[in-house]
Every structure is written in structure tokens, then in C-alpha cells.
Amino acid sequence: MNKRRKSKPVQIGSVTVGGNAPIVVQSMTKTDTRNVRATVNQIKELEECGCELVRLAVPDMEAAGAISAIKKGVKIPIIADIHFDHRLALAALEAGVDGLRLNPGNIGEPEKIKKVASAARERGVPIRIGVNAGSLPEAKNPKLSIAHQMVEAALEQVRLLESLDFDLIKISLKAFDVPTTIEAYQLIAPQIPYPLHIGITEAGPPRTGIIRSTVGISTLLWLGIGDTIRVSLSAHPREEVIAGYEILKSLNLRQHGPVLVSCPACGRAEVDIVKLAEAVEKELLKVTKPVKVAVMGCIVNGPGEAKDADIGIACGKGRGVLFKKGKKVRTIEEKDFIKVLMAEVEGF
Ligand code: SF4
């Protein structure tokens, strides 16, 4: 894996993005921001599964006004997603928002951008410039590839903020197309000192969206690019956070809760391993400690294949062997598999 690109950290409330800070997992609410109770409840669900930053759509003044009440009910920093209307950005800042996502270029007159930049600077609130391939401004040079056009658009916005003496900047360059996204981030990474928010936009429902996002995000992380990630899914945002952590855990970039090792099953399996693994996975969602748990389909190969696991079960007919670090400990009845496994996890 390449060494992580050095970036100038920004502070979003209590969370640092960039520099040497851990790669931050974030998501976005899918509630109507004006509905304070529903939004707070969804953010609390996200906090429970480890979400570290959350973005809210702020389409009007009522949504901007709801931010202060939402902030009172939640712990993690809030980022307001704003388009076109600089008054919404000013109202969100007034309401105590921790970060803004807006493109200064679509705010309009320089005076308006200046007002937003100066209010954000006063409060130490960073701005994410978020370029999406689907909504690029008209290209100055249409012959450029989409990735190059995305980078040009982002750099233009960066220059605009820098000219106003504003440097609390974070950047994202997202496309649905994975190679385009990777190319865009590779192009911009050496040109700016700011942290990068990475992700694949509109990636789809979980089955395909997680794969698409994982391919894009993990390729970039492997190249040393990325300071915060969002997996965008047509699903409850909890799934985005779980997927985000799984990507980071798979690359050994973060530890977060358990890791489940389960064999794919084969003709040797004497238990419904798919059902068992699903049940264990569900139980492990409640666990926050970093423990590696294995569920294996046979006694012959189970413990050996999962020798790195902290705790596991190698299943036989109606019974299974409990093992720790690949060493057999004792035999347990099939009806007790989950109960015993979870008790061991608890005591680990
Ligand atoms: Fe087959 Fe046993 Fe390996 Fe599972 S652990 S895949 S059942 S050999």
C-alpha cells in the first residue's frame, strides 16, 4: 500500500479530517431535515454504529433553522449540504453547523461568497467543495476527459476560496464511473494540500453499490489517497457506515468492532453454515470491541483455516468444537452455538 498522502488537517467540530487523523467514516441522513425528531433519531442510529460525521440536506430556511435543535439531540458533528442560496449557508453557520458542503461557484456574486467565507472563517467551519461528474459546469475545454474537467472545476472553486483568504477546505470529486473517479482523485491529489473526501456517487442499492464503492474507495486508499469516506447507497444510511468500516478494516486502516470469518461451506459441512453465519453476523452488530470471530463448517479444516481468529466454532453433526486462536477448547451442542459464542465474545 502506498504511504498516505500528506494533507493539511481541518477540524469539523470534534473530528479531525486529514493529516495523521484516522480515516473518518461519514454518512448522510435520508430524513427531511425539517423533521427534527426523525433526523435526530436517524443520526442517533448512525452514532450507534460508529458514524463520525453526518451531512444533512439544507434545501430551505426551515431546514437551516432546524439545525440548532438537531445539534442539541446528537453527539457527532453536522455538515450542512447547501446549493445556490448563500443565505442558507449563513443561517446554517448561525445555527452552529460544524461543516458546510457547498460549491462557491454556484452561490453567485462574489459578495455573497465573501460573506459565507468570512462567516465560516470566523467560526472555524470548513467548507467541502464537492464536484460531481453529473453536474459539471460548462467545460472551458470540452476536449478534456471528464476526470480532467472535474479537477478543473474543483481547482477553480479552490482558487476562489483561497482568493478570499479561506483555506479550511476539503474536496471531493465523485462520479458513478469508478475509473473516472480514481483518475480525478489521482490528478488532484498532488496539486492541493487539502484533505480529500472520497466516494463513488449514486453507487446504487447495497448488493451492487457496496461492490462499486469498495472498488473505488479501496483502490484510492491503496494509492494513499483519502482522508474521509462515504459509501453512498440507496439504503438506510446505517448500511453506508457498516460498509465504510468494513472497507477500512479490510485494508487494516481502522479497527472497529468485530471481524467475522466464515467459511463458504462445501460438501463437508454438516451444518447450515450460511444461516449460522448470518445469525452470528446479526449478533455481532451489537459488539463494539475488535474481536475476530470464526464460524467454520467442519471440524476437519475449521480451526486450521481460521487459526488467526480469536474465538470460533468448527461445526460437526449436531455438535461443534469451540476454539480459540485455532486451538480446540471444548465441544458444544448445536443448539448452544450462538449463546456460547456470544458469551465468549463478551468475556474476551
Ligand atoms: Fe468445507 Fe470445512 Fe472448509 Fe467449510 S471449513 S469450506 S466445510 S472444508
In this prediction, residues 129-152 reach a mean pLDDT of 88
Instruction: Please report the domains of the chain, with CATH numbers, ordered by start residue.
Output: 10-250 (3.20.20.20), 259-346 (3.30.413.10)
**302 within ligand 1 shell (Cβ under 6 A):** yes
Q: Model pTM?
A: 0.93
Q: Coil, helix or strand for 314?
A: strand
Buried b (16+ CB within 10 A) or exposed e, 40-71: bebbeebeebbbbbbbbbbbeeebbbbbeebb
Please report the atom of ligand 1 found closest to the CA of residue 298. Answer: 2
Evaluate if residue 11 carries a pLDDT over 90: yes
Residue carrying the nine cell digits 474481536: 291
**321 within ligand 1 shell (Cβ under 6 A):** no
The pLDDT of residue 203 is 84
Please report the atom of ligand 1 found closest to the CA of residue 305. Answer: 5
Could you report the per-residue pLDDT of 193-251, keeping only the tens digit for each?
999 999 999 889 999 999 999 999 999 999 999 999 999 999 999 999 999 999 999 99
Ligand 1 centroid – CA 269 distance (Å): 6
Query: 142 falls in which pLDDT band (50, 70, 90)?
Result: confident
Evaluate if residue 286 carries a pLDDT over 90: no
Could you report the per-residue pLDDT of 154-194, keeping only the tens digit for each?
999 999 999 999 999 999 999 999 999 999 999 999 999 99
Evaluate if residue 105 carries a pLDDT over 80: no
Evaluate if residue 87 carries a pLDDT over 90: yes
Please report the atom of ligand 1 found closest to the CA of residue 264. Answer: 6
Evaluate if residue 59 carries a pLDDT over 80: yes
Percent of the chain, pLDDT > 90? 86
Average pLDDT, the chain: 94
Minimal CA–CA distance to 219: which of 268, 258, 184?
184
Q: Say if CB 172 and CB 220 are below 8 A apart.
A: no
